[in-house]
Structure 1
Amino acid sequence: MEIEEMKIKGEQFLELEFKEMPVFWERKMSELIKDKVILDLKNAKKALEFFGDRTVYYVYNLWRGIERYKKIKDEYKLNFDVTLLKFGLFSLTKDGETFLTYGHKHEKNRGEFYTVLKNECYLLLSDLNKKKSIIVEMKEGTSVLIHPRFIHRLISTGKDCLVLGIVPEDAGHDYNIVKNKGFPHHVFMQNGWLKIVENKKYEGFSIEKVSAKKLSLPIKKLSQILMYPNKYKKFYKI
Protein backbone atom coordinates (compact mmCIF):
# COMPACT_ATOMS: atom_id res chain seq x y z
CA MET A 1 0.00 0.00 0.00
CA GLU A 2 1.63 3.21 -1.17
CA ILE A 3 1.26 6.57 0.54
CA GLU A 4 1.62 9.11 -2.25
CA GLU A 5 1.98 12.05 0.14
CA MET A 6 5.04 10.52 1.83
CA LYS A 7 8.62 10.03 0.60
CA ILE A 8 10.89 7.51 2.32
CA LYS A 9 14.59 8.36 2.43
CA GLY A 10 17.37 5.96 3.39
CA GLU A 11 17.72 2.19 3.65
CA GLN A 12 18.85 1.05 7.08
CA PHE A 13 18.14 4.37 8.78
CA LEU A 14 14.94 5.99 7.55
CA GLU A 15 13.68 9.55 7.26
CA LEU A 16 10.29 10.73 6.03
CA GLU A 17 9.21 13.71 3.97
CA PHE A 18 5.55 14.69 3.54
CA LYS A 19 3.80 16.85 0.97
CA GLU A 20 1.21 17.59 3.66
CA MET A 21 2.64 17.31 7.17
CA PRO A 22 0.50 15.18 9.48
CA VAL A 23 0.38 15.52 13.24
CA PHE A 24 2.98 13.24 14.85
CA TRP A 25 4.28 12.28 18.25
CA GLU A 26 7.30 10.39 19.53
CA ARG A 27 7.95 7.87 22.28
CA LYS A 28 11.17 8.33 24.23
CA MET A 29 13.31 5.71 25.92
CA SER A 30 12.64 7.29 29.33
CA GLU A 31 8.87 6.71 29.01
CA LEU A 32 9.30 3.01 28.28
CA ILE A 33 11.68 2.67 31.22
CA LYS A 34 9.44 4.64 33.59
CA ASP A 35 6.40 2.50 32.76
CA LYS A 36 8.44 -0.72 32.90
CA VAL A 37 7.22 -2.09 29.59
CA ILE A 38 10.68 -3.36 28.67
CA LEU A 39 12.36 -6.31 30.34
CA ASP A 40 16.00 -5.34 30.88
CA LEU A 41 15.48 -2.20 32.96
CA LYS A 42 18.96 -2.30 34.51
CA ASN A 43 20.83 -1.98 31.21
CA ALA A 44 18.18 0.32 29.74
CA LYS A 45 18.80 2.83 32.55
CA LYS A 46 22.54 2.68 31.90
CA ALA A 47 21.93 3.34 28.19
CA LEU A 48 19.63 6.25 29.01
CA GLU A 49 22.25 7.83 31.24
CA PHE A 50 25.03 7.38 28.67
CA PHE A 51 23.27 8.15 25.37
CA GLY A 52 20.58 10.51 26.59
CA ASP A 53 16.86 10.21 25.99
CA ARG A 54 16.70 8.74 22.50
CA THR A 55 13.50 8.52 20.47
CA VAL A 56 12.48 4.88 20.06
CA TYR A 57 9.65 5.48 17.60
CA TYR A 58 7.50 8.11 15.90
CA VAL A 59 3.79 7.86 15.08
CA TYR A 60 2.37 9.97 12.25
CA ASN A 61 -1.42 10.44 12.28
CA LEU A 62 -2.17 10.68 8.56
CA TRP A 63 -5.82 11.39 9.34
CA ARG A 64 -4.71 14.56 11.15
CA GLY A 65 -3.14 16.61 8.41
CA ILE A 66 -3.43 14.83 5.06
CA GLU A 67 -6.66 15.57 3.23
CA ARG A 68 -7.08 12.15 1.59
CA TYR A 69 -6.95 10.37 4.93
CA LYS A 70 -9.29 12.87 6.54
CA LYS A 71 -11.86 11.91 3.90
CA ILE A 72 -11.27 8.19 4.47
CA LYS A 73 -11.79 8.72 8.19
CA ASP A 74 -15.03 10.63 7.57
CA GLU A 75 -16.39 7.98 5.19
CA TYR A 76 -15.14 4.72 6.71
CA LYS A 77 -14.37 5.70 10.34
CA LEU A 78 -10.79 4.42 10.01
CA ASN A 79 -7.61 6.00 11.32
CA PHE A 80 -4.45 5.64 9.22
CA ASP A 81 -1.20 5.92 11.19
CA VAL A 82 2.42 5.37 10.20
CA THR A 83 4.90 4.15 12.81
CA LEU A 84 8.62 4.67 12.26
CA LEU A 85 10.29 2.25 14.66
CA LYS A 86 13.99 3.00 15.03
CA PHE A 87 16.52 0.23 15.36
CA GLY A 88 18.48 0.26 18.59
CA LEU A 89 19.17 -1.58 21.82
CA PHE A 90 18.39 -0.77 25.43
CA SER A 91 22.04 -1.42 26.15
CA LEU A 92 25.56 0.02 26.11
CA THR A 93 26.90 -2.94 24.10
CA LYS A 94 26.02 -4.76 20.88
CA ASP A 95 23.92 -7.21 22.90
CA GLY A 96 20.64 -6.33 24.59
CA GLU A 97 16.90 -5.88 24.31
CA THR A 98 15.84 -4.43 20.98
CA PHE A 99 13.74 -1.29 20.53
CA LEU A 100 9.98 -1.79 20.60
CA THR A 101 6.68 0.01 20.75
CA TYR A 102 4.83 0.39 24.06
CA GLY A 103 2.17 -2.17 23.19
CA HIS A 104 -1.56 -2.18 23.90
CA LYS A 105 -4.89 -3.95 23.60
CA HIS A 106 -7.99 -2.41 22.09
CA GLU A 107 -10.65 -1.18 24.48
CA LYS A 108 -13.40 -2.18 22.06
CA ASN A 109 -13.85 -5.35 20.02
CA ARG A 110 -12.09 -3.95 16.97
CA GLY A 111 -9.36 -5.40 14.78
CA GLU A 112 -6.32 -3.67 13.31
CA PHE A 113 -4.41 -3.97 10.04
CA TYR A 114 -0.62 -3.68 9.85
CA THR A 115 1.44 -3.57 6.67
CA VAL A 116 5.20 -3.01 6.40
CA LEU A 117 6.09 -0.19 4.03
CA LYS A 118 9.88 -0.41 4.37
CA ASN A 119 12.35 -2.96 5.78
CA GLU A 120 11.17 -5.55 8.30
CA CYS A 121 10.34 -6.13 11.96
CA TYR A 122 8.57 -8.46 14.35
CA LEU A 123 4.97 -8.14 15.44
CA LEU A 124 4.43 -9.72 18.85
CA LEU A 125 0.91 -10.93 19.63
CA SER A 126 -0.02 -12.32 23.04
CA ASP A 127 -3.35 -13.87 24.02
CA LEU A 128 -3.47 -13.50 27.81
CA ASN A 129 -6.44 -15.84 28.19
CA LYS A 130 -4.99 -18.72 26.19
CA LYS A 131 -1.47 -17.99 27.46
CA LYS A 132 -0.05 -17.99 23.97
CA SER A 133 2.38 -15.64 22.20
CA ILE A 134 3.03 -15.41 18.47
CA ILE A 135 6.04 -13.75 16.89
CA VAL A 136 5.07 -12.64 13.39
CA GLU A 137 8.02 -12.06 11.08
CA MET A 138 6.92 -9.12 8.93
CA LYS A 139 8.88 -8.37 5.78
CA GLU A 140 8.43 -5.40 3.49
CA GLY A 141 5.09 -5.63 1.66
CA THR A 142 3.50 -8.15 4.02
CA SER A 143 0.44 -7.53 6.19
CA VAL A 144 -1.38 -8.90 9.22
CA LEU A 145 -4.94 -8.59 10.49
CA ILE A 146 -4.75 -8.37 14.29
CA HIS A 147 -7.68 -9.84 16.21
CA PRO A 148 -8.71 -7.75 19.26
CA ARG A 149 -8.04 -10.63 21.67
CA PHE A 150 -4.31 -9.93 21.35
CA ILE A 151 -2.11 -7.43 23.11
CA HIS A 152 0.37 -6.41 20.44
CA ARG A 153 3.56 -4.47 19.80
CA LEU A 154 6.20 -3.99 17.12
CA ILE A 155 9.82 -5.02 17.73
CA SER A 156 12.84 -3.87 15.74
CA THR A 157 15.11 -6.55 14.29
CA GLY A 158 18.06 -4.83 12.61
CA LYS A 159 16.94 -1.79 10.63
CA ASP A 160 14.52 1.09 11.07
CA CYS A 161 11.08 -0.18 10.09
CA LEU A 162 8.10 1.71 8.69
CA VAL A 163 4.64 0.28 9.37
CA LEU A 164 1.20 1.47 8.32
CA GLY A 165 -1.56 0.76 10.82
CA ILE A 166 -5.28 1.01 10.03
CA VAL A 167 -7.75 0.86 12.90
CA PRO A 168 -11.37 1.90 13.56
CA GLU A 169 -11.50 5.34 15.16
CA ASP A 170 -13.34 4.04 18.24
CA ALA A 171 -11.05 1.05 18.98
CA GLY A 172 -9.30 2.75 21.89
CA HIS A 173 -5.94 1.85 23.44
CA ASP A 174 -5.54 0.05 26.75
CA TYR A 175 -1.92 0.69 27.76
CA ASN A 176 -2.39 -0.23 31.41
CA ILE A 177 -2.62 -3.90 30.48
CA VAL A 178 1.15 -3.92 29.80
CA LYS A 179 2.28 -1.12 32.12
CA ASN A 180 4.67 -2.37 34.82
CA LYS A 181 4.61 -5.84 33.23
CA GLY A 182 5.71 -5.76 29.62
CA PHE A 183 4.83 -8.76 27.45
CA PRO A 184 5.13 -12.50 28.12
CA HIS A 185 8.08 -12.58 25.69
CA HIS A 186 10.75 -10.03 24.76
CA VAL A 187 13.41 -10.01 22.04
CA PHE A 188 17.15 -9.56 22.59
CA MET A 189 20.13 -9.28 20.27
CA GLN A 190 22.81 -11.76 21.31
CA ASN A 191 26.03 -12.25 19.35
CA GLY A 192 24.34 -10.88 16.24
CA TRP A 193 21.30 -13.15 16.55
CA LEU A 194 17.79 -12.42 17.75
CA LYS A 195 16.78 -14.34 20.86
CA ILE A 196 13.33 -14.65 22.43
CA VAL A 197 13.38 -14.32 26.23
CA GLU A 198 10.57 -15.23 28.61
CA ASN A 199 9.24 -12.64 31.05
CA LYS A 200 9.03 -14.12 34.55
CA LYS A 201 6.08 -11.86 35.37
CA TYR A 202 4.02 -14.23 33.21
CA GLU A 203 3.81 -17.99 33.67
CA GLY A 204 3.00 -20.85 31.36
CA PHE A 205 2.98 -19.00 28.04
CA SER A 206 3.76 -20.86 24.84
CA ILE A 207 5.47 -19.18 21.89
CA GLU A 208 5.42 -19.84 18.16
CA LYS A 209 6.86 -18.03 15.17
CA VAL A 210 5.04 -17.43 11.89
CA SER A 211 5.58 -15.34 8.77
CA ALA A 212 3.25 -12.62 7.52
CA LYS A 213 1.94 -12.77 3.97
CA LYS A 214 0.87 -10.25 1.39
CA LEU A 215 -2.74 -9.16 1.77
CA SER A 216 -4.72 -6.60 -0.18
CA LEU A 217 -8.29 -5.59 0.68
CA PRO A 218 -10.55 -2.77 -0.56
CA ILE A 219 -11.04 -0.07 2.07
CA LYS A 220 -14.78 -0.69 2.35
CA LYS A 221 -14.26 -4.42 2.96
CA LEU A 222 -11.39 -3.79 5.35
CA SER A 223 -13.51 -1.41 7.42
CA GLN A 224 -16.15 -4.13 7.89
CA ILE A 225 -13.54 -6.75 8.83
CA LEU A 226 -12.00 -4.45 11.44
CA MET A 227 -15.31 -3.23 12.85
CA TYR A 228 -16.85 -6.71 13.16
CA PRO A 229 -14.01 -9.21 13.79
CA ASN A 230 -16.31 -11.95 15.07
CA LYS A 231 -18.47 -11.81 11.96
CA TYR A 232 -15.41 -11.88 9.69
CA LYS A 233 -13.21 -14.16 11.79
CA LYS A 234 -12.21 -16.25 8.75
CA PHE A 235 -10.05 -13.32 7.62
CA TYR A 236 -8.03 -13.38 10.85
CA LYS A 237 -5.57 -16.14 10.02
CA ILE A 238 -3.56 -15.73 13.24
Structure 2
Amino acid sequence: MTATTTRTAVPGPVLFARYAFPPNRHGYCGPADHLAFFESGTAGDDRGLRAMAREFAGAWPYLELIAGATGLPDPLDHRAVEAYWVGSRLLDRVGVTHVAGSMEERFRYRAGPRFGRLTAEVLAGGVPHHSFAVFCVYPWTGLLGDDRRAAQALTVLDMCRIRWGRVVHVHGDRVEVASRHLGWDGRRLDLGSPRPETVERAVDGLGPGAELRPGDWVAMHWEWVCDRLTDAQVRALSHYTARHLRILNDAADAGPLGLLA
Protein backbone atom coordinates (compact mmCIF):
# COMPACT_ATOMS: atom_id res chain seq x y z
CA MET A 1 0.00 0.00 0.00
CA THR A 2 1.17 3.50 -0.75
CA ALA A 3 1.06 6.14 1.92
CA THR A 4 -2.13 8.16 2.18
CA THR A 5 -2.09 11.68 3.56
CA THR A 6 -3.66 12.06 6.98
CA ARG A 7 -6.77 14.20 6.79
CA THR A 8 -8.58 16.40 9.26
CA ALA A 9 -11.42 14.43 10.83
CA VAL A 10 -14.88 15.40 9.62
CA PRO A 11 -17.54 15.91 12.31
CA GLY A 12 -18.99 12.67 13.63
CA PRO A 13 -22.58 13.32 12.49
CA VAL A 14 -21.37 14.02 8.94
CA LEU A 15 -19.21 10.91 8.92
CA PHE A 16 -22.17 8.88 10.14
CA ALA A 17 -24.31 10.21 7.30
CA ARG A 18 -21.70 9.27 4.70
CA TYR A 19 -21.91 5.62 5.72
CA ALA A 20 -25.58 5.43 6.70
CA PHE A 21 -27.04 7.10 3.60
CA PRO A 22 -26.78 4.09 1.19
CA PRO A 23 -29.03 1.68 3.14
CA ASN A 24 -31.33 4.58 4.00
CA ARG A 25 -31.61 5.32 0.29
CA HIS A 26 -32.81 1.74 -0.21
CA GLY A 27 -35.34 2.08 2.59
CA TYR A 28 -33.68 -0.45 4.91
CA CYS A 29 -33.20 1.77 7.95
CA GLY A 30 -33.25 5.34 9.21
CA PRO A 31 -35.66 8.20 8.47
CA ALA A 32 -38.31 7.83 5.78
CA ASP A 33 -37.11 10.93 3.92
CA HIS A 34 -33.75 9.78 2.54
CA LEU A 35 -33.38 12.94 0.45
CA ALA A 36 -33.55 15.12 3.57
CA PHE A 37 -30.95 12.91 5.22
CA PHE A 38 -28.70 13.15 2.16
CA GLU A 39 -29.07 16.93 1.99
CA SER A 40 -28.34 17.32 5.70
CA GLY A 41 -25.23 15.17 5.35
CA THR A 42 -24.01 17.13 2.35
CA ALA A 43 -24.68 20.46 4.06
CA GLY A 44 -23.12 19.35 7.35
CA ASP A 45 -26.34 20.09 9.28
CA ASP A 46 -25.17 18.85 12.68
CA ARG A 47 -28.46 19.38 14.49
CA GLY A 48 -30.57 17.73 11.81
CA LEU A 49 -28.20 14.79 11.47
CA ARG A 50 -28.17 14.17 15.21
CA ALA A 51 -31.95 13.87 15.27
CA MET A 52 -32.05 11.58 12.25
CA ALA A 53 -29.16 9.36 13.41
CA ARG A 54 -31.29 8.13 16.32
CA GLU A 55 -33.74 6.69 13.79
CA PHE A 56 -31.17 4.12 12.69
CA ALA A 57 -32.36 1.35 15.01
CA GLY A 58 -29.53 -0.97 13.96
CA ALA A 59 -26.53 1.35 14.18
CA TRP A 60 -27.47 3.74 16.98
CA PRO A 61 -27.30 1.24 19.88
CA TYR A 62 -23.82 0.18 18.75
CA LEU A 63 -22.66 3.79 18.80
CA GLU A 64 -24.10 4.18 22.30
CA LEU A 65 -22.33 0.99 23.35
CA ILE A 66 -18.95 2.11 21.98
CA ALA A 67 -19.22 5.56 23.54
CA GLY A 68 -20.46 4.31 26.90
CA ALA A 69 -17.85 1.57 27.21
CA THR A 70 -14.90 3.78 26.25
CA GLY A 71 -15.78 6.99 28.09
CA LEU A 72 -16.70 9.08 25.06
CA PRO A 73 -19.35 11.68 25.91
CA ASP A 74 -21.19 11.45 22.60
CA PRO A 75 -22.31 8.44 20.50
CA LEU A 76 -21.69 10.62 17.44
CA ASP A 77 -18.14 11.45 18.46
CA HIS A 78 -16.03 10.99 15.33
CA ARG A 79 -14.02 8.25 17.07
CA ALA A 80 -17.12 6.19 17.91
CA VAL A 81 -18.53 6.57 14.40
CA GLU A 82 -15.25 5.58 12.75
CA ALA A 83 -14.87 2.59 15.08
CA TYR A 84 -18.32 1.26 14.17
CA TRP A 85 -18.18 1.67 10.40
CA VAL A 86 -14.45 1.29 9.67
CA GLY A 87 -12.85 -0.07 12.82
CA SER A 88 -10.19 1.11 15.25
CA ARG A 89 -8.42 0.00 18.42
CA LEU A 90 -11.25 1.65 20.33
CA LEU A 91 -13.33 -1.49 19.68
CA ASP A 92 -10.95 -3.64 21.67
CA ARG A 93 -11.61 -1.45 24.70
CA VAL A 94 -15.28 -2.51 24.65
CA GLY A 95 -15.25 -5.45 27.04
CA VAL A 96 -17.07 -8.73 26.51
CA THR A 97 -19.42 -7.87 29.37
CA HIS A 98 -20.54 -4.68 27.64
CA VAL A 99 -21.13 -6.39 24.29
CA ALA A 100 -22.90 -9.37 25.85
CA GLY A 101 -25.11 -7.06 27.88
CA SER A 102 -26.08 -5.14 24.76
CA MET A 103 -26.93 -8.39 22.94
CA GLU A 104 -29.02 -9.53 25.91
CA GLU A 105 -31.00 -6.30 25.96
CA ARG A 106 -31.59 -6.09 22.21
CA PHE A 107 -31.83 -9.62 20.87
CA ARG A 108 -32.70 -12.28 23.45
CA TYR A 109 -36.42 -12.27 22.71
CA ARG A 110 -36.12 -11.56 18.98
CA ALA A 111 -33.41 -14.14 18.33
CA GLY A 112 -35.10 -16.98 20.22
CA PRO A 113 -33.03 -20.17 19.86
CA ARG A 114 -30.34 -18.26 17.94
CA PHE A 115 -29.48 -16.15 20.98
CA GLY A 116 -27.03 -18.75 22.27
CA ARG A 117 -25.12 -18.49 19.00
CA LEU A 118 -24.92 -14.71 19.31
CA THR A 119 -23.48 -15.11 22.80
CA ALA A 120 -20.91 -17.60 21.50
CA GLU A 121 -19.87 -15.18 18.77
CA VAL A 122 -19.29 -12.42 21.33
CA LEU A 123 -17.16 -14.79 23.41
CA ALA A 124 -15.25 -15.73 20.25
CA GLY A 125 -14.16 -12.11 19.82
CA GLY A 126 -17.12 -10.29 18.30
CA VAL A 127 -17.00 -6.52 18.79
CA PRO A 128 -19.45 -3.71 17.90
CA HIS A 129 -18.24 -3.24 14.33
CA HIS A 130 -20.63 -3.10 11.41
CA SER A 131 -19.25 -6.40 10.10
CA PHE A 132 -20.36 -8.06 13.36
CA ALA A 133 -23.90 -6.85 12.70
CA VAL A 134 -23.80 -8.05 9.08
CA PHE A 135 -22.18 -11.46 9.56
CA CYS A 136 -23.20 -12.43 13.09
CA VAL A 137 -26.54 -10.73 13.77
CA TYR A 138 -28.44 -10.24 10.50
CA PRO A 139 -30.45 -13.32 9.43
CA TRP A 140 -29.11 -13.40 5.85
CA THR A 141 -26.27 -15.78 6.73
CA GLY A 142 -28.84 -18.43 7.57
CA LEU A 143 -30.23 -18.23 4.03
CA LEU A 144 -26.94 -19.20 2.41
CA GLY A 145 -27.89 -22.84 2.87
CA ASP A 146 -31.15 -22.36 0.96
CA ASP A 147 -30.44 -22.97 -2.73
CA ARG A 148 -33.39 -20.79 -3.70
CA ARG A 149 -32.15 -17.76 -1.79
CA ALA A 150 -28.38 -18.24 -1.49
CA ALA A 151 -27.53 -15.89 -4.38
CA GLN A 152 -29.74 -13.12 -2.97
CA ALA A 153 -28.31 -13.62 0.53
CA LEU A 154 -24.74 -13.43 -0.75
CA THR A 155 -25.47 -10.18 -2.61
CA VAL A 156 -27.09 -8.57 0.42
CA LEU A 157 -24.25 -9.60 2.73
CA ASP A 158 -21.64 -8.32 0.29
CA MET A 159 -23.32 -4.98 -0.34
CA CYS A 160 -24.42 -4.38 3.24
CA ARG A 161 -20.95 -4.77 4.72
CA ILE A 162 -18.48 -1.88 4.41
CA ARG A 163 -16.03 -2.95 1.73
CA TRP A 164 -12.82 -1.29 0.60
CA GLY A 165 -11.30 -0.78 -2.82
CA ARG A 166 -8.83 1.26 -4.84
CA VAL A 167 -9.94 3.92 -7.30
CA VAL A 168 -9.05 3.12 -10.91
CA HIS A 169 -10.93 5.89 -12.77
CA VAL A 170 -13.20 8.78 -11.84
CA HIS A 171 -15.99 9.51 -14.32
CA GLY A 172 -18.02 12.45 -13.03
CA ASP A 173 -20.45 11.14 -10.44
CA ARG A 174 -19.23 7.55 -10.92
CA VAL A 175 -16.04 5.83 -9.88
CA GLU A 176 -14.45 2.62 -11.12
CA VAL A 177 -12.95 0.76 -8.18
CA ALA A 178 -11.04 -2.51 -7.82
CA SER A 179 -12.37 -4.33 -4.76
CA ARG A 180 -12.72 -7.79 -3.24
CA HIS A 181 -16.17 -9.36 -3.06
CA LEU A 182 -17.59 -12.15 -0.95
CA GLY A 183 -17.68 -15.68 -2.31
CA TRP A 184 -19.63 -18.67 -0.99
CA ASP A 185 -18.46 -22.23 -1.65
CA GLY A 186 -21.33 -23.98 0.10
CA ARG A 187 -19.64 -23.96 3.51
CA ARG A 188 -17.61 -20.79 3.94
CA LEU A 189 -17.77 -17.08 3.18
CA ASP A 190 -14.46 -15.67 1.98
CA LEU A 191 -13.14 -12.67 0.08
CA GLY A 192 -12.10 -13.18 -3.54
CA SER A 193 -9.46 -11.45 -5.63
CA PRO A 194 -9.93 -7.75 -6.53
CA ARG A 195 -12.15 -7.08 -9.51
CA PRO A 196 -13.58 -3.89 -11.01
CA GLU A 197 -16.94 -2.40 -10.11
CA THR A 198 -18.58 0.95 -10.74
CA VAL A 199 -20.00 2.89 -7.80
CA GLU A 200 -21.49 6.33 -7.21
CA ARG A 201 -19.88 9.20 -5.36
CA ALA A 202 -22.42 11.98 -6.04
CA VAL A 203 -25.80 12.80 -7.56
CA ASP A 204 -25.65 15.60 -10.13
CA GLY A 205 -22.29 16.60 -8.72
CA LEU A 206 -23.56 16.75 -5.15
CA GLY A 207 -22.22 14.31 -2.59
CA PRO A 208 -21.08 14.25 1.04
CA GLY A 209 -17.75 12.50 0.46
CA ALA A 210 -14.23 13.63 -0.32
CA GLU A 211 -12.75 14.37 -3.75
CA LEU A 212 -11.17 11.29 -5.28
CA ARG A 213 -8.37 10.45 -7.67
CA PRO A 214 -6.91 7.20 -9.07
CA GLY A 215 -4.95 5.28 -6.47
CA ASP A 216 -7.08 6.41 -3.51
CA TRP A 217 -8.49 3.84 -1.16
CA VAL A 218 -12.23 4.20 -0.55
CA ALA A 219 -14.91 2.67 1.66
CA MET A 220 -18.15 1.58 0.00
CA HIS A 221 -21.62 0.71 1.27
CA TRP A 222 -24.06 -0.73 -1.23
CA GLU A 223 -23.36 1.06 -4.53
CA TRP A 224 -22.06 4.25 -2.89
CA VAL A 225 -18.60 5.59 -2.01
CA CYS A 226 -18.71 6.66 1.63
CA ASP A 227 -15.26 8.15 2.21
CA ARG A 228 -11.62 8.13 1.23
CA LEU A 229 -9.53 5.90 3.53
CA THR A 230 -6.01 6.10 4.85
CA ASP A 231 -3.81 3.01 4.71
CA ALA A 232 -4.32 2.54 8.45
CA GLN A 233 -8.09 2.61 8.01
CA VAL A 234 -7.90 0.02 5.22
CA ARG A 235 -5.94 -2.24 7.55
CA ALA A 236 -8.49 -1.75 10.33
CA LEU A 237 -11.47 -2.42 8.08
CA SER A 238 -9.79 -5.51 6.66
CA HIS A 239 -8.88 -6.74 10.15
CA TYR A 240 -12.37 -6.50 11.67
CA THR A 241 -14.02 -7.88 8.55
CA ALA A 242 -11.69 -10.89 8.64
CA ARG A 243 -12.30 -11.32 12.38
CA HIS A 244 -16.05 -11.60 11.99
CA LEU A 245 -15.85 -13.76 8.89
CA ARG A 246 -13.67 -16.15 10.89
CA ILE A 247 -16.17 -16.21 13.75
CA LEU A 248 -19.00 -16.88 11.33
CA ASN A 249 -17.14 -19.62 9.46
CA ASP A 250 -16.07 -21.32 12.66
CA ALA A 251 -19.60 -21.32 14.13
CA ALA A 252 -20.92 -24.75 15.06
CA ASP A 253 -18.09 -26.45 13.15
CA ALA A 254 -20.24 -26.12 10.03
CA GLY A 255 -19.67 -22.59 8.82
CA PRO A 256 -22.71 -20.43 8.09
CA LEU A 257 -24.91 -23.51 7.72
CA GLY A 258 -24.61 -23.88 11.46
CA LEU A 259 -26.53 -20.61 11.83
CA LEU A 260 -29.67 -21.91 10.12
CA ALA A 261 -32.63 -21.43 12.45
Give the TM-score normalised by structure 2: 0.23
- Please state which structure has a larger fraction of its residues in strand: 1
Larger helix fraction of residues? 2
Normalised by the length of structure 1, the TM-score is 0.25
